[in-house]
Each structure stands twice: as C-alpha cells, then as structure tokens.
C-alpha cells in the first residue's frame, strides 16, 4: 500500500477527523481515506460541505502540516498554517532586502530562463514520440522549441536594470515564448476537446479548465515548500506586489508549470481522457477528483535533478530551500530547475 502524503477531500458532506496517529476522511460510516500523520505533507479541501475537526486542525498545526482550501476551479481560497511555521526571521529579512540589490534581478532572470527553457524542453518531449508517426507535427514542435528558447537568449541583456524597470521587458520575452509554446501545443490537442487558445481566468473549455485546476494544485505544493523554507510567499520578484497576491509562489511556480502540469494534461487528452463539464463550464466533480489523483501521481514521478532521479514534489521542496540559501548568502547564485526532455 502506498504511503499517503496528501489528503485530498472533495466529497460534499464528508468529514476529516483525528483518530490516534492518523487522519480519517469519511462520509457517514464510510471511510474514504486514512492518512498516517507521520507521513502526511498537506491536506487539501477542494469542495464545499467538507468539515474538519478542531482536533485534526490542531494536530496538523503542531506537526507543520498545512491545510489548503480550493474552490471548484482549483484556485486556493485559504491556507492554514501553524503560527511559527514560516518564522525564520533571517531568511525573510534577506528576502525583503534582496528586492533592492542585484539578487532580486538575478533571481528573476534565473526563473524566467528556466520557465522558457522548460517550455522548450516540453515541446521537445512531446515531439520525440511523433518523429516517425507524425513528422509534420514533430517538425513544428521542434521549430517552436527553438523559437521559444531564443527568447531566453535575450534575458542577459536585462541584468543591469533595476527590478522595477526589468519586469516589463522580462514579461514581454516570456509572452513571446508562450506564443510559440501554446501555438505549437494546439497542434497536438485532439479536435474533440475544441481547444483553440490558452485562457486563464474564466475558462470554460475542458483543456484550459484542466490546466487551471492543475496550476491550483501545483500552487499549494509551491506555497507549502516556500513556507517550510522560511520564505514569505507574498514577497516576490517577477510578479508585482498586490494585496493578497502570493507573488513569490507565482514566481516559483513558473519553473514547474510545464513539467508539473502541462505534460500531464497533454498526455491525458492525447489518451482521450474524459472531461465532462457542468452547465456553467466547470469540471464535473468526478473529473476533478480523477484529475487531482492523477496530479498527485504525476508529482511523485521522478525527474533528473542534480544527477539523481527525484520526485517532482521533492524537487519543488529542494528549490525552495535552494532559493532561501541563496538569499541568506550561503551560495553564490540561484540555480533554477531545468527540465530534461
């Protein structure tokens, strides 16, 4: 039996309670899942009508297990942490100070470079299985990968700019890369899904809805990793500061969107994954439940990292610690996650 590291609760009328050294997730007398606390990394409540006991909350806080609440499209609406979980003062002081010195620029450029090159790597990853079966798509995907990666080659010219001045230029390069990226992926999405363009907020089609929901789940992983590393998820670099906006979480997500979510969604729809929608353009409950399970499995898939094979979820944790170490001056540079293909 696999070890439960994430408890995902999305059944209306269900309840999470504590019994001995585990959380019990049940509806009525039917036990839906059990999660030993010694292995549990986080709890996600992804539906209205799910209750959680005070004992379960207290135990999670005592053990540093965050609890996230998502809405029906995968957007986090609340996060619950122990008060001292992110209390590493030296790390946070260094993080805030870095916005005004070269470290903030270096981090921004490193993340943007990783995002663009990871998109290019995903295009090559998707292309390699089509070299013989669909040479036209193979050529299109490879060409798009080259064009996308070329945008990363322009990033070094921004290294002497102030962060506030750099942001608009950096995001323009990212947008140009995204045009090539999504334009090429459109070619390999089956027509049955009716996907024509990348839509973020307000999407009502199956493919964009899967992507957006996946990014919501990914966000919980990144946010948790940042807190465990002692970082402030609201003090970012690439994404502008706004009240209630977890800028650093959104920054670090950029390294993992294509590998952590896009590859999964592309693989599922190419295997004709059934995506039923509600009348108002939301994923059906059973689709969200199935997809969330596949997300958990995918994040446990191993990728190459520092010469080893490591689960994607572990890479996220390691990258958060790597960022914190750089901000504290323990390393000379921040090395972002670069995906293989």
Residue range 41-64, pLDDT digits in tens: 899 999 889 999 999 999 998 888
> Does some domain include residue 147?
yes
Per-residue pLDDT band for 86 (boundaries 50, 70, 90) equals low
Contact 9, 46 (CB under 8 A): yes
Sign of the torsion formed by the C-alpha atoms of 237, 240, 242 and 248? negative
Kindly state whether residues 321 and 204 are assigned to the same domain. Answer: yes
Kindly state whether residues 189 and 124 are assigned to the same domain. Answer: yes
Rounded Cα distance between 313 and 218, Å, is 9
Domain, as residue range, for 159? 89-327
Q: Which of 26, 49, 65 is the last residue of a domain?
A: 65
Mean pLDDT of 276-296: 93
Kindly state whether residues 50 and 108 are assigned to the same domain. Answer: no
The region, left, alpha or beta by phi > 0 then psi within -120 to 50, assigned to residue 47 is beta
Q: What CATH number is given to the structural domain containing 243?
A: 1.20.120.920
> Does some domain include residue 247?
yes
**For position 274, what pLDDT does the model report?**
93
CA distances from 295 to 125, 150, 178, 259, 288 (A): 18, 30, 23, 11, 10
Kindly state whether residues 54 and 182 are assigned to the same domain. Answer: no
CA distances from 331 to 211, 308, 317, 322 (A): 34, 21, 17, 8
The number of folded domains in the chain is: 2
Kindly state whether residues 106 and 225 are assigned to the same domain. Answer: yes
**Predicted model pTM:** 0.90
> Does some domain include residue 333?
no
Kindly state whether residues 53 and 110 are assigned to the same domain. Answer: no
Kindly state whether residues 162 and 111 are assigned to the same domain. Answer: yes
Q: What CATH number is given to the structural domain containing 11?
A: 3.100.10.20
Kindly state whether residues 184 and 261 are assigned to the same domain. Answer: yes
Please provide residue 318's backbone torsions phi and psi, each rounded to the nearest 5 degrees.
-65, -35
> Does some domain include residue 337?
no
> Does some domain include residue 280?
yes
pLDDT at 82 over 80: no
Contact 281, 209 (CB under 8 A): yes
Kindly state whether residues 52 and 146 are assigned to the same domain. Answer: no
């Amino acid at each position: 039996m696999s070890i439960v590291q994430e408890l995902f609760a999305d059944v209306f009328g269900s309840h999470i309670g504590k019994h001995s050294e585990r959380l019990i997730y049940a509806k009525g007398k039917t036990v839906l899942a059990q999660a030993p606390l010694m292995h549990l990394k986080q709890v996600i409540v992804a539906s209205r009508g799910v209750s959680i006991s005070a004992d379960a909350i207290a135990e999670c806080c005592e053990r540093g297990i965050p609890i996230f609440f998502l809405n029906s499209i995968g957007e986090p609406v609340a996060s619950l942490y122990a008060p001292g979980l992110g209390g590493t003062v030296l790390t946070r002081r260094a993080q805030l100070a870095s916005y005004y010195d070269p470290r903030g620029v270096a981090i921004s450029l490193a993340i943007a470079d990783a995002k663009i090159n990871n998109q290019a790597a995903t295009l090559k990853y998707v292309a390699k299985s089509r070299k013989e079966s669909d040479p036209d798509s193979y050529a299109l995907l490879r060409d798009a990968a080259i064009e996308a990666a070329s945008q990363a080659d322009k990033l070094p010219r921004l290294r002497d700019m102030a962060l506030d001045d750099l942001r608009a230029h950096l995001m323009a390069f990212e947008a140009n890369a995204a045009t090539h990226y999504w334009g090429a992926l459109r070619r390999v999405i089956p027509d049955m899904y009716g996907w024509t363009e990348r839509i973020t907020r307000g999407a009502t089609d199956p493919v964009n809805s899967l992507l957006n929901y996946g990014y919501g789940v990914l966000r919980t992983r990144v946010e948790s990793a940042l807190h465990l590393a002692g970082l402030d998820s609201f003090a970012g670099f690439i994404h502008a500061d706004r009240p209630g906006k977890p800028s650093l979480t959104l920054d670090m997500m950029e390294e993992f969107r294509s590998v952590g979510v896009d590859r999964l969604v592309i693989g599922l729809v190419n295997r004709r994954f059934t995506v039923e929608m509600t009348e108002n353009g939301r994923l059906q409950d059973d689709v969200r439940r199935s997809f969330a399970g596949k997300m958990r499995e995918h994040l446990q898939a191993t990728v190459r990292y520092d010469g080893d094979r490591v689960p994607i979820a572990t890479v996220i944790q390691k990258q958060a610690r790597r960022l914190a170490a750089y901000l504290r001056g323990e390393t000379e540079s921040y090395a972002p996650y670069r995906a293989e293909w």
